[in-house]
Amino acid sequence: MTKAPIRVAVTGAAGQIGYALLPRIASGAMFGPDQPVILQLLELPIDKVMQALKGVAMELEDCAFPLLRGIVCSSDTKVAFKDANWCLLVGSKPRGPGMERNDLIRENGPIFVGQGQAIAEVGAKDVRVAVVGNPCNTNALIAMHSAKGVPKERFTAMTRLDQNRAMSQLATKAGVHSTDVTHATIWGNHSATQVPDYVNTKIQGKPANAVIKDEAWLKGEFFKTVQQRGAAIIAARGSSSAFSAASALVDHVHDLHFATPAGEWRSVCVVSDGSYGVPAGLISSFPVTSDGKGGWKIVQGLPLDPFVKEKIAATVKELEGERAVVADLLK
Ligand code: NAD
Ligand code: LMR
């Protein structure tokens, strides 16, 4: 029997990430090869932008994707989020060279107030939200506060790109394939203070720091490369990461939609319950498992070495600082 389509709202759908993301959702990479989808695309109410969105929709039509059961294009959040099961909040301004992601906070933050309200008003009963627009942790916090009545657990932000980057760096250093790197763990904020954990992340089943016995590299170059990868891509490409971000979002939603294989976890920014000393209520990256039915849990009891612990305290401090900057948007 054919499954009922999943309605997927994507904001900023005519942007860089949108262009790389939409064909992957429509071809089944996000929800599986037997799951039909309806794409509900939101863009700014500017003629040139809506015209570009129309072109994107035409290209989607031209792919004749078997799983694509409808395309809605709108500049109205109430139309784009109507009955949406997943809202992928990408639309916002990217940073340029020399900026930190949280330099965007006062410009992008307000977007997530109206979008959170609209999600609460018209989204599906089981609506789930993934925030990509930067600074994504704090924007997710704003959306979560604005979406009155929607359970807080439905809101996530993306550190999957950081997880994938860490896997790739560790694999290269250890001379193995990235599939040999498992349990990759990012703590904290999707920012230059994020914490790529080298103790709980495993290489061929062993702690990464037991395989790569180069503490200076793990605490130095590895940390810096993962923390600064977004800036390095902006410096090299002239604009921020796009298809790697889209691919990470496919992974992020896929792995929350399906159950996590036993014994594994993924890095996801979710609302803290106080685990690992992260104050309750902040949206922070944790090792998370999904039950495949909409529920998730923070993996408990992982050991933290003193260096990682100290870095987690610093990234949490930054998240608290960001929250203070947008306090007026959290009512
Ligand atoms: P882009 O400028 O190419 O596209 C953004 C699109 O969003 C534009 O088409 C714009 O018209 C649209 N937009 C802006 N405000 C909107 C609103 N209120 N409603 C609907 N649409 C709106 O940018 P991009 O490269 O696609 O990046 C988008 C965001 O994703 C940026 O904030 C970027 O920093 C962030 N990002 C996050 C990660 C991550 O890992 N979390 C990775 C890469 C990029
Ligand atoms: C990234 O990590 O590539 C994105 O968050 C874009 C950026 O500004 O770094």
Give the three-class secondary structure for 142: helix
Report whether residue 240 contacts ligand 2, using a CB cutoff of 6 Å: yes
Taking the C-alpha atoms of residue 266 and residue 314, their distance in angstroms, rounded to an integer, is: 22
Nearest CA to ligand 2 atom 7: 230
Taking the C-alpha atoms of residue 251 and residue 308, their distance in angstroms, rounded to an integer, is: 25
Report whether residue 95 contacts ligand 2, using a CB cutoff of 6 Å: yes
Report whether residue 161 contacts ligand 2, using a CB cutoff of 6 Å: yes
Nearest CA to ligand 1 atom 33: 94
Report whether residue 50 contacts ligand 2, using a CB cutoff of 6 Å: no
pLDDT, tens digit (0-9, with 9 covering 90-100), for 184-209: 999 999 999 999 999 999 999 999 99
Which DSSP string corresponds to 219-282? IIIIHHHHHTHHHHHHHHHSS---HHHHHHHHHHHHHHHSBPPTT--EEEEEE--SGGGPPTT-
pLDDT exceeds cutoff 90 at 1: no
Taking the C-alpha atoms of residue 54 and residue 56, their distance in angstroms, rounded to an integer, is: 5
Q: Which of 54-68, 95-109, 225-239, 249-263 comes out lowest in average pLDDT? A: 95-109
pLDDT, tens digit (0-9, with 9 covering 90-100), for 222-242: 999 999 999 999 999 999 999
pLDDT at residue 215 in the model: 97
For residue 17, the ligand closest to its alpha carbon is 1
Report whether residue 138 contacts ligand 2, using a CB cutoff of 6 Å: no
pLDDT at residue 148 in the model: 98
Mean pLDDT across the stretch 287-316?
97
Mean pLDDT across the stretch 138-158?
98
Ligand 1 environment, Cβ below 6 A: 11-12, 14-18, 42-44, 49, 90-95, 111, 132-134, 136, 158, 161, 190, 240-242, 245
Report whether residue 257 contacts ligand 2, using a CB cutoff of 6 Å: no
Residue 61: burial class (beta carbons within 10 Å; 0-12, 13-18, 19+): exposed
pLDDT exceeds cutoff 90 at 306: yes
Pocket probe for ligand 2: among 100, 105, 161, the residue whose CB has the most ligand atoms within 8 Å is 161
pLDDT exceeds cutoff 90 at 143: yes
Structure token pair of residue 13:
């759908």
Q: Considering only CA atoms, which of 116, 123, 122, 169 is closest in space to residue 138?
A: 116
Q: Which of 1-10, 14-23, 84-93 comes out lowest in average pLDDT? A: 1-10
- pTM of structure: 0.98
Ligand 2 centroid to residue 149 C-alpha, Å: 31
Residue 72 · residue 39 · CB < 8 Å: yes
Structure token pair of residue 259:
């159950």
pLDDT, tens digit (0-9, with 9 covering 90-100), for 249-286: 999 999 999 999 999 999 999 999 999 999 999 999 99
Catalytic residues: 190
- Number of the ligand 1 atom closest to the C-alpha atom of 157: 41
Report whether residue 191 contacts ligand 2, using a CB cutoff of 6 Å: no
Ligand 2 centroid to residue 163 C-alpha, Å: 13
User: What percent of the chain shows pLDDT beyond 90?
Assistant: 98
Pairing of strands 266-271, 283-290: antiparallel
Report whether residue 12 contacts ligand 2, using a CB cutoff of 6 Å: no
Ligand 1 centroid to residue 52 C-alpha, Å: 15
Beta-strand ranges (E) seen in the chain are 6-11, 37-42, 68-74, 86-89, 128-131, 155-157, 181-182, 185-187, 195-197, 202-203, 206-207, 266-271, 283-290, 296-298
pLDDT exceeds cutoff 80 at 83: yes
Largest CA distance in the chain: 56
Ligand 1 centroid to residue 207 C-alpha, Å: 35
pLDDT at residue 96 in the model: 87
**Residues listed for the chain:** 331
Residue 34: burial class (beta carbons within 10 Å; 0-12, 13-18, 19+): exposed
pLDDT at residue 130 in the model: 99
pLDDT exceeds cutoff 90 at 2: no
Q: How far is CA 134 from CA 91, 190, 233, 284, in A?
A: 9, 8, 15, 14
